[in-house]
Structure 1
């Protein structure tokens, strides 16, 4: 039986959507993967890029609309300079080597995160990826780069405060929708499920506002070992969740009887 059929069957039996519209990934464990094998951390990051390619291809095959990946956090700049340079080099190679394939597969690339202080070559690279793929209508690959959720929310608060100061907005008009409209993800639906590898069970400053009603799936494997089977397993677990969004649902037996 195909993976998509398994997801559809699990979902149908529970009355939940067959597949999530938006999947977010916290790609954790590259360093530990390398250390466990006596390899340099860079090799773990390199293998992590290979896992990212597998995740994108799986998302395309499973007809997921949005895939958000936490590629580089605002806090990652505090890592050793050599490691930061290695990560930036991998980003450069990923876009240079994979952009053509992404474009050919109708993938649209979006980048979220602060860009004001990025080196011009990095900012230009991210802009190029967006511009080349902006008309594509398939999977939207959202790359969270130099991203921090607290920083994102603070920036939204500053923007709203500026609007109030200029008389374009009253304090009474500031609600959840107003805040959401000022976030990097204003035109992107909130994630249905957030998957984190490595066994850690925290968000690490990732999509804090957007994750209000997301389901969480924590996998014990390290990110370089993530593959299609791991993606399918996580989505099968998601398919067995009941998403009530604060509401009280009727007992399943009653729903079945009706």
Structure 2
């Protein structure tokens, strides 16, 4: 375990391509002149292509997933240093269960191996970790490990890392509707809604979303050059700045994050204007 931790932190250092903490703080100081996003979400695309790139013609391996984990740690570290309060990562879609069973198992095993490491990282930065999505399809070991990690970091408040697993926006919206209906029925039985407040409202749905733990994202970054949201945060992204990068997720660097934030700052007035127009 210790060897994997050290190897991983070396990977984190390599992501920044030798950018020292002093230079990094200077870069972040320049960024702080403009508005800093409160919430950045990542669609981590390109892990399998990275695997094939590193192991051409070989069998499926977990190297891409391992590198993807440390790339996420690096992004969380940079966001923490910059003052970004919320980070969300799209790790596993419900649709991924349709892949070959061996591919799904490789991903599940890789994620489970990283739980202890993620807990160490979270404790180091005092970051709360939350899993958003339908954990039902996972086996008991995964669910117990996820709950253990959330409980271990529940007291931290420096920032929040939300990991979306077995998640799609359609499932999230359906879940919110079902939960809202159930709560209204319970309230009706208890005669809490005797004043006529039995209609499901927007605030009811938003309260029961998987992503109710975080505000809407300011930036959504997707790697591998794709321009689709792929059923990710559809409800929450109407005012988000979308950023597509050609780089594979395991190869993402500090400079990719910096450019995304600069681009967000450039378009921030337009985004704010659009938000106000929708509120009118």
TM tier, shorter chain? Answer: 0.7 to 0.9
Q: CA RMSD in A?
A: 1.9
**Structure 2 match to 1:15:** none
The structure 1 residue matched to 2:205, chosen from 157, 169, 179, is 179
Aligned to 1:5: 29
Post-superposition offset of 1:198: 0.6
What per-residue deviation string (whole Å, max 9, x for no partner) do you get for residues 92-128 of structure 1? 1211123122112101101100123321100011101
For 1:30, the equivalent position in structure 2 comes to 47
Match of 2:231 in 1: 205
The structure whose RCO (Cα within 8 Å, separation 6+) is larger is 1
1:223 to 242, 245, 249: 249
Give 1:24 shift.
0.3
1:247 equivalenced with 2:276 (yes/no): yes
SS in 1 for 2:87: strand
Instruction: Quote the Cα distance in structure 2 between the aligned partners of 1:157 and 1:150.
Output: 11
Deviation, structure 1 residue 165: 4.1
TM-score, scaled to structure 1: 0.86
Q: CA offset at residue 213 of structure 1?
A: 1.1
Which SS does the other structure have where 2:84 is aligned? coil
Checking the alignment, whether the CA contact within 8 Å between 1:111 and 1:130 is kept in structure 2 is yes
Do 1:30 and 1:41's aligned partners in 2 also have CA atoms closer than 8 Å?
Answer: no
TM-score by length of 2: 0.80
Higher share in helix: 2
**Match in the other structure for 1:194:** 220
Aligned to 2:264: 238
User: Is 2:104 the counterpart of 1:84?
Assistant: yes
Q: Tell me by how many angstroms 1:71 deviates.
A: 0.9
**Quick one: distance in 1 between partners of 2:124 and 2:74?**
16
Unaligned runs of 5+ in 1: 12-17, 249-258
Report what 2:62 is aligned to. 42
- Deviations 1:32-87 (CA, angstroms, capped at 9, x unpaired): 22223415453222221221121111111111101000111111111111111111
Secondary structure in structure 2 of the residue aligned to 1:212: coil
Following TM superposition, the consecutive aligned residue runs of length 4 or more in structure 1 with deviations greater than 3 angstroms are: 163-166, 168-173, 245-248
Corresponding residue pairs, total = 241
Q: 1:85 to 1:180 in 2, by over 3 A?
A: same
